[in-house]
Amino acid sequence: MRIKDVVYLYRLVGGEKLTWHGRYHAHGAEEYEFHYFIEGQGSFLSNRTRMALEGGRLFLTRPREFHSILPEAVSRPITYYAVLFEPEMGSDEDAAALSLLECEGAQAERTAATPRILDARDRFLFEELHRLSRAPDESGKRAASYQLLSLIYRWYGRHDAAAAATSVRTEYTEKALALMSRALREKLGMEGLAAKLGLSEEHFIRLFRAELGMPPFQYYTRLKIEAASGLLTGSNLSVGKVAEYFGFENQFHFARVFKKCTGLSPTEYRRTYATL
């Protein structure tokens, strides 16, 4: 797959960005697009089908399908990734992946067009796609293409809806994820979070790790860095102000954690991915 563009938009409410990214439009004859929504309230319009937006939902747009994003609540702005790509001619792997996507489109026409619900960990794969697709060397871009191809096989290479469903999470983990998402500007301790769930800290950490593949504090930190990256590239706030906004101890602590998660310092990240 050849990735043509990957964008990450943080808390899209209004202005020129919403006018451009939310416009009703279609792509070329060979272009497909994924929209993966992290948060927000609104609708995704695909041709004449209107579907509700919720965190964790993945929408596929096929060539020449008109689509738009419709925010509906200023208090719940939309955050999402968009990946625009096209198959490479002569590639057997791309042809096989394309057949999966076309089968998905045919199924959507026979029934109601519905999005896929992705695992909570998949949001970080979009972050990696975003970074690799903008690498200065060809090897990084090729790595992004292979990753996208593998994700298509994983998301669409199953033949029944039950098999396509992601692993079921307990209500404790679901509540923990919701609490984390609402507390990105705070310093949320895992002991306090476990107490809110009525669990011991040890039991909570073990449960969370088993279901999401990483300890809760690591996941919470990555949520903060993901949100901070959007604010860095979509605003003129200083690095120090962004660090303060998301509750880091200081700018130096923020920079250290940010580079550990993204491979770049906040300043380098802004210079590479700035959208203003």
pTM: 0.75
pLDDT beyond 90 at 22: no
Residue 179's CATH number: 1.10.10.60
28-37, 74-83, 98-107, range with greatest mean pLDDT:
28-37
Residues 140 and 180 in one domain: no
pLDDT beyond 90 at 35: yes
Closest among 20, 15, 16 to 5, alpha carbons compared: 20
> Token pair for residue 142?
């090729």
Compute how many other C-beta atoms are within 10 angstroms of the C-beta atom of residue 163: 8
pLDDT at position 165: 42
Q: What tens digit of pLDDT does each residue of 135-163 get?
A: 888 888 899 999 999 999 888 886 444 44
Range of the domain at 76: 2-164
Mean pLDDT throughout 8-33? 80
59-63, 105-109, 259-263, range with greatest mean pLDDT:
59-63
Dihedral, 172, 173, 179, 180 alpha carbons, nearest 10: 150
Last residue of a domain, one of 164, 198, 230: 164
Comparison of pLDDT for 126 and 17, the residue scoring more: 126
Residue 58's CATH number: 2.60.120.280
